[in-house]
Amino acid sequence: FLLVVFAVMLGLIEYAGGGTPVECYVSAFRMLALTIIFIYLLGTVRLQDLTATMVQQLKVPYAYAFMFTAGLRFIPDFLEENRMVTEAQACRGMAVKGSFIKKCKRYMNIVRPLMLRSLERSETMALSLELRGFGGKGRTFVDSVALHGADYLVVILTCVATIMVFYARMKYGA
């Protein structure tokens, strides 16, 4: 639901920027489609496999691929910590009622502990990576991330479906 709301907001921003209604719909639906595909990717692929694929097949430097997937890994932890800090602040009597500006000012009381915990987690992660030899020359991956038979079938079916859509648009106009 929030993705749809965000897509509508993106379409409105496009319209406010001088875009035509068609451009607004297209940008909103593109954002929605890409986000859903990205969520599907993250829900079906292990982060270790994603890192290995980025390094081996896309030739992304390992440090960048690791930073990307480590950031994704900490999103659920960060959301959980946000919930815990919010509950702790509510137990201490912090009210979240009032205007938008007042809510933003009060939210700073939640942001500070979150930032401190994130910095602590980052420092711990940096030390543990250093102790494990992160950045060494001999990086190997345990699993192979090469395409298999079913993967090739999905790629071929996707290409055929894409060609059919383009053909239909060219022939019948859209």
The domain limits of the chain are 1-44, 56-134, 145-174
Q: Cβ distance 11 to 25 under 8 Å? A: yes
Cα four-point dihedral sign 135, 139, 142, 143? positive
Rounded CA separation 155/147 (Å): 10
Per-residue pLDDT tens, the chain, 174 aa: give them.
778 888 888 888 888 888 888 888 888 888 888 888 888 888 888 888 888 888 888 888 888 888 888 888 888 888 888 888 888 877 887 766 777 777 777 777 778 888 888 888 878 888 887 777 776 666 665 666 677 788 889 889 999 999 998 888 888 865
